[in-house]
A = this chain, B = another copy of it.
Amino acid sequence: MSAESSIPETRVLAIASHVVHGYVGNTMATFILQALGCEASAINTVHYSNHTAYKQVKGRKTPAEEIMELYEGLKQSFLNDFDVLLSGYMPSAEAVQAVGKIGRDLRLNAAGKPGSFFWVLDPVMGDQGRCYVPEDEIPQYKALLREADLILPNQFEAELLSDTKITSLTTLATAMQALHRTYQIPHIIITSLRMSASGTISPSTTTNPTHLTIIGSTARRDLSPRLFRLDIPAYPLFFSGTGDMFAALTVPRLREAAASAGLLGTPAWRSPDDVPAADLPLARAVERVLESMQAVLGATAAYAARAVEVLEAAEGRAGLGGGADDDDDSAARRRHLALMKASEVRVVQNARHLLLGPEREGEPPRVKFRAEEVRVEGFDGRAGEPKPDELGVVNLGVGARKGEGEGAVLVGRPGS
């Protein structure tokens, strides 16, 4: 009996970072999972006072042997019967290896019960062209991918893991196919792509995009990608923990969608080849994840804007009244800290949006999202069928629409 009866009861082992203040890593994931009725067991890979975007932090990384020891503690008491492993930030190559051992052990436990164990792996390595993790972690991550059922890289991480620069629809499909085929990964979601409606893709270092595109795929039997997209408006503010929020919401929502499609007893919850991309349980899950995220982030942006007004009013008073003995550097630092604090995701206060429960009067209505198939010539996995366009031109559906309907189809050139 969970918070929403459509979500099956789910035991999740969540391995990620912990912060005392704010919402990233496990601090984000645990609440979200629990709010949606899942049991969340948290092994924390770091114990920090706050997230690193504050630019100052105290605390400690968890040594790999402590991660293993906690898992051994669960195992000796038969407490490791998890349905899902959700793994996120790991601070060292050794930690990645430890999590690999844990994942393989859970997989082994579930052998003989197809679909009874599912690994959602968020390969947290970097963003916008910058690596967060030590260089020696990347090969360890690649070794891990083969074990995962679903990975959630951003554009930068997808490029790193597929060794493919994503600049066009063709290179996007190439990268997705490489991930499906090289690492045998059944499901992939690229959580943030700088992609235009016509299919042009900007480098992952592009700042201030007006919207972000989410690309998902569940491999066909031949491991060709089955691509869908959804577009979301980008908020003008930088929020930490949104990737963790996406990953945590995806666990119950994908389990719900897979249960509804009768796939929980199927290895890796894979849909038959005749299910179109936009009808995949993965697409259904992402639609609901985005509905929650946009509502919670919208409320957070409004809260942060009010907090910034208060901050600026106080700064104005201090400037007029004098008496501020901070130098400019110190004032800028305080301002940055206050801004970071004000933009912590308001996930607790907006839990009703996680559950997609009744909306309140006076609030903006929640935006519904609808996935659209993306067809890329040479990657449709249906060699016998006619291509959608004989001229090397690509049809792609455009997402990011409110409500149902329209379904505009734009035409662009692969590689343009």
A105 within 8 A of B: no
Determine whether A382 belongs to the interface, using a CB cutoff of 8 Å to chain B: no
| Minimum C-beta distance from A340 to chain B (A) | 8
Q: Is the interface of A mostly helix, strand, loop or mixed?
A: mixed
A30 at the interface (CB under 8 A from B): yes
CB–CB B77/A50 < 8 A:
yes
Among A49-80, those with CB < 8 Å from B are: 49-50, 54, 56-60, 66, 69-74, 76-79
By a CB distance below 8 angstroms, the chain B residues around A27 are 42
Contact residues in B for A37 (Cβ distance below 8 Å) = 348-349, 351
How long is the Cα–Cα vector from A2 to B349 in the complex, in angstroms?
5
Sample (5) of A-B pairs whose CB atoms are under 8 Å apart = A13-B20, A21-B74, A31-B34, A49-B73, A54-B77
Note all chain B residues with C-beta closer than 8 A to A78: 334, 337-338, 341
Query: Within 8 Å of chain B (Cβ to Cβ): is A395?
Result: no
Q: Which residues 283-299 in A have Cβ within 8 Å of B in the complex?
A: none
Contact of A50 among B18, B39, B73, B349 (CB under 8 A): B73
Q: Does A1 contact B (CB under 8 A)?
A: yes
- A251 located at the interface, meaning its Cβ lies under 8 Å from any Cβ of chain B in the complex: no
Q: Evaluate whether A79 and B50 lie within 8 angstroms (CB atoms) in the complex, with A2-B349, A41-B21, A70-B20 already known.
A: yes
Interface residues of A (CB under 8 A from B): 1-3, 9, 13, 18, 20-22, 27, 30-31, 34-35, 37-44, 47-50, 54, 56-60, 66, 69-74, 76-79, 334, 337-338, 340-341, 348-349, 351-352
- Distance (Å) between the CB of A22 and the closest chain B CB? 8
Partner of A44, one of B30, B47, B71, B74: B47
Q: How far is the CA of A69 from the CA of B50 in the complex (A)?
A: 12
Residues of B within 8 A of A38 (CB): 348
User: Which B residue sits closest to A2, measured CB to CB?
Assistant: B349
Q: Is the CB of A69 within 8 A of B77?
A: no
Give the residue of B48, B70, B348 whose beta carbon is less than 8 angstroms from that of A34.
B348
The 5 closest A-B pairs by CB, nearest first: A49-B73, A58-B73, A21-B79, A20-B41, A34-B348
- Given A77-B340, A78-B334, 12 other A-B contacts at CB below 8 A? A3-B349, A3-B351, A20-B41, A20-B73, A37-B348, A37-B349, A49-B70, A49-B71, A49-B73, A58-B72, A60-B69, A77-B337
